[in-house]
Amino acid sequence: MSTSKPLHAPQTGFPVVDGCLQVGGIPLTRLAQRVGGTPFYAYDRGLVTQRVRQLRAQLPGALELHYSIKANPMPALVQHLAGLVDGLDVASGGELKVALDTGMAPARISFAGPGKSDAELRQAIAAGICVHAESEREIRATARLGAELGTAPRLVLRINPDFELKGSGMRMGGGAKQFGIDAEDAPRLLALAASLELDVLGFHIFSGSQSLKADAIVEAQAQTIALALRLADASSNPVRVLNIGGGFGIPYFPGEAPLDLAPIGAALDSALPRVRAALPQAQVSIELGRYLVGEAGVYVARVVDRKLSRGQVFLVTDGGLHHHLAASGNFGQVIRKNYPVAIGNRMTSDEREAVSVVGPLCTPLDLLAERMELPRAEPGDLVVVFQSGAYGLTASPGAFLGHPQAQEVLV
């Protein structure tokens, strides 16, 4: 084995017994029988619970924790999370329905995302959830639909900050963006919102995603709080909601290390009392998606063919990019890198070889691992892709080539 190459962060969440990976305490081979076939996603509820507990232990008790459903909207998983977090963040009428079905109090559900339709806004207002307005049109439409429904809708202004989360995998704030109201335009739109029949609760400031750098997150949170305090000066209502975004990343690729929560917790410990002094009614929250669920999930596909082509071994599986676009490297990555991959029923085998793991689609993009050192595998063996609990099935082009959809289980 080459030692100079950067390695994936070790996968410690899933134990190995007799050479077989266990998910939710069930050997993977047995779980595949229980599911009834491959490919499938399996999410470990114990790992999700453990992740929320770790976060709560390291972050201030007064900080609310919200789950962003778009990371993984599987209803059973969202239901499990609803019992662990303080709120659910949705980004469509469909996610809204999943969130309401959990029984989470409507006031603890928020709806952000550009281009909300009148139909979606009407659903949100009728349910009593909080609309995070991304534009002047959304503010006016929310007030108009509220009047039709005979209620003053809960409204938060989503702000496009004048900074970004440095080194984040996906930039969603700063510069010109389709997300949120430009910070410099916020005072005008705050005045507009205050003049309409709306219950204006506060601000939502999201500056980026998938960051593994604690110092970058600390800096973005400090800038976020400073911006919120400036905006609060322009607000005629007391600020009751302050969502400071999220952006906590997980290690996907070789050389990446898990995020260190301690400095983030320490910085928030000192910042929150200052927020409380300035905005005594503000409930401060963070919103996390992949950090809560990404490491709790695996994608499992079966080897159907083992091919040798001009000296290279290809394991052809029954799963691929149509179920797991991100692992194939085609979900926003600039340079393709391998996700952590294993042969789930041969975890301790020491007969190893360099292989590429591909799917059944007629495109060279359908790649789950490229020239990776894995235990020698045969048809029937189970390929496991770790770090697959977020942006998996629902972030993939399931209809591409007409293969069966993958199943999902929560164990």
Which stretch in 10-18, 67-75, 137-145, 259-267 sits in contact with ligand PLP by CB under 6 A?
67-75
CA distance 40 to 230: 48
Contact characters 220-259, ligand PLP, x per CB under 6 A: --------------------------x-------------
Contact 325, 385 (CB under 8 A): no
User: What is the torsional sign of CA 173, 179, 181, 184?
Assistant: positive
When asked if residue 288 is in the footprint of ligand PLP (CB under 6 A), the reply is yes
Six-digit token pair at 206? 């999201």
When asked if residue 284 is in the footprint of ligand PLP (CB under 6 A), the reply is no
Which stretch in 9-17, 68-76, 121-129, 253-261 sits in contact with ligand PLP by CB under 6 A?
68-76
Contact 69, 108 (CB under 8 A): no
H or E stretch covering 137: helix 136-149
Residues 385-404 that bind ligand PLP (CB under 6 A): 390
By C-beta, is 115 or 380 nearer to ligand PLP? 115
Which stretch in 47-55, 202-210, 355-363, 397-405 sits in contact with ligand PLP by CB under 6 A?
202-210
When asked if residue 161 is in the footprint of ligand PLP (CB under 6 A), the reply is no
By C-beta, is 39 or 87 nearer to ligand PLP? 87
The distance of closest approach from Cβ of residue 286 to ligand PLP in the complex, given in angstroms and rounded to an integer, is 9
Q: How far is CA 270 from CA 66, 163, 225, in A?
A: 21, 22, 12
Instruction: Determine which residue in the list 142, 209, 317, 338 makes contact with ligand PLP, applying CB under 6 A.
Output: 209
By C-beta, is 321 or 390 nearer to ligand PLP? 390
Largest CA distance in the chain: 71
By C-beta, is 186 or 316 nearer to ligand PLP? 186
> Smallest Cα–Cα separation from 287: which of 59, 121, 118?
59
When asked if residue 70 is in the footprint of ligand PLP (CB under 6 A), the reply is yes
User: What radius of gyration, in Å, describes the C-alpha atoms of the chain?
Assistant: 23
Q: What is the DSSP string of 38-82?
A: SSEEEE-HHHHHHHHHHHHHHS-TTSEEEEEGGG---HHHHHHHH
Contact 306, 377 (CB under 8 A): yes
CA distance 63 to 61: 6
By C-beta, is 14 or 391 nearer to ligand PLP? 391
The distance of closest approach from Cβ of residue 394 to ligand PLP in the complex, given in angstroms and rounded to an integer, is 12
- Helix 75-82 and helix 93-101, axial crossing angle in degrees, nearest 10: 60
By C-beta, is 210 or 388 nearer to ligand PLP? 210
Instruction: Determine which residue in the list 287, 295, 366, 408 makes contact with ligand PLP, applying CB under 6 A.
Output: 287
DSSP 403: P
The distance of closest approach from Cβ of residue 283 to ligand PLP in the complex, given in angstroms and rounded to an integer, is 17
By C-beta, is 204 or 323 nearer to ligand PLP? 204
H or E stretch covering 357: strand 352-358
Identify the three-state secondary structure at position 182: strand
By C-beta, is 70 or 122 nearer to ligand PLP? 70
The distance of closest approach from Cβ of residue 290 to ligand PLP in the complex, given in angstroms and rounded to an integer, is 4
The distance of closest approach from Cβ of residue 91 to ligand PLP in the complex, given in angstroms and rounded to an integer, is 6
Contact characters 87-126, ligand PLP, x per CB under 6 A: -------------------------x--------------
Contact 319, 58 (CB under 8 A): no
> Smallest Cα–Cα separation from 49: which of 96, 22, 82, 16?
82
> Smallest Cα–Cα separation from 226: which of 274, 264, 181, 194?
274
When asked if residue 68 is in the footprint of ligand PLP (CB under 6 A), the reply is yes
In this chain, which residue has its C-beta nearest to ligand PLP? 289
Contact characters 289-328, ligand PLP, x per CB under 6 A: xxx-------------------------------------
Interface with ligand PLP (CB under 6 A): 68, 70-71, 112, 206, 209-210, 246, 287-291, 390
